[in-house]
Every structure is written in structure tokens, then in C-alpha cells.
Amino acid sequence: MARRAGVGIGTLYRNFPTRRHLFEAVYVEEVRALSRSAEDLAELPPWDALVAWLHRFVAYVATKRALAEQLLHDSEIFTSCRTEIYAAGEPLMSRAQTAGVVRDDIGFDDVVRLISGLTMAQFPSPEQRDRVLGVALDGLRPSAATR
């Protein structure tokens, strides 16, 4: 790992005394990047911003599943990262609901659980994953039954 990062093993261990410390640092940085991406989408229309961020969230979850499992879901790091993800995503959801492009009878936690469940499936291609995500996202739109 040190070689891939372009540092000596001593430098790696000084900064990350255990494998868990390294995993936590990587995980936290990825969560921060995902959270910052919400700000990058602020200029998009509400639906487009939410969908773009949820696509990034799916990609993040798909690539970080093994890392998250290493951190144990009840750890302090995992809890603070979850809080940061919600702080980034909830305003996008609220903005889309205010604009009337997302159902008002669901919460952001509902969406996270929907998306998290979707990411548990193994897809043969990113294209199929994106199609299935599109079907799930269609369920977020208001219909005559929810108005």
C-alpha cells in the first residue's frame, strides 16, 4: 500500500498506526468528497441536483461497501460520516420537495434506505445498475395518488 501511495512504509505507519486507522482516513475523505459534491450541484434544478447527487451516492456506496464493513456500522467514525452524508443530502431532498418534484410523504432516510438496498444487489454492468436506479428514482416523483 505504501508503495502505491508513493511513500515509505515508515511514513505510512507513522500516519496510520493500524490498518483500521488507514481505512477510517480513506472512508472519511470519501464521505467528505461526496458531501462537498452536493454544493457543486446547487445551481442545477432541484430534481436534477437530487438525482445527480444520488447517482454519486450509489457509486460511492458500491465502491465503499467493503471499506464500510471493515469499520463496523456502530463505530464513532461511521456515525459521524452518516451524519455528514445526511447533512449533504437532506437539503437537496428538501429543495426538490419544496419545488414539487419529489413526493412530500417520504423523508431522506427513506431514500437512503431505498438506495442502500439497491446497492446491495450485484449488477453485471453499471448500465443496468443505472437503469434500476432510474426506476427507483421515478418512484420519488409525485403522482396523482400522493398529491
List pLDDT tens digits, range 79-106.
Answer: 888 899 999 999 999 999 999 999 999 9
User: Alpha carbon of 35 to those of 23, 64, 121, 131: distances in Å?
Assistant: 18, 15, 24, 24
The structural domain count of the chain equals 1
CB 39 within 8 A of CB 84: no
The domain spanning residue 23 has which CATH number? 1.10.357.10
Q: Answer yes or no: is pLDDT of 7 > 80.
A: no
Put simply, whether the predicted model's pTM sits higher than 0.75 gets the answer no
Q: Identify whether 24 is part of a domain.
A: yes
What is the extent of the structural domain holding 124?
A: 18-138
Q: What is the spatial distance between Cα 82 and Cα 61, in angstroms, rounded to a whole number?
A: 12
Confidence of residue 64 (pLDDT cuts 50, 70, 90): low
User: Does residue 54 form part of some domain?
Assistant: yes
Q: Is residue 13 part of a domain?
A: no
Cα-trace Rg, the chain? 18
Residue 94 resides in a domain: yes
Q: Domain for residue 67, yes or no?
A: yes
**Which band of pLDDT confidence, cut at 50, 70 and 90, is reported for residue 13?**
low
Does residue 130 form part of some domain? yes
In a domain, 3, yes or no: no
Q: Does residue 11 belong to any structural domain of this protein?
A: no
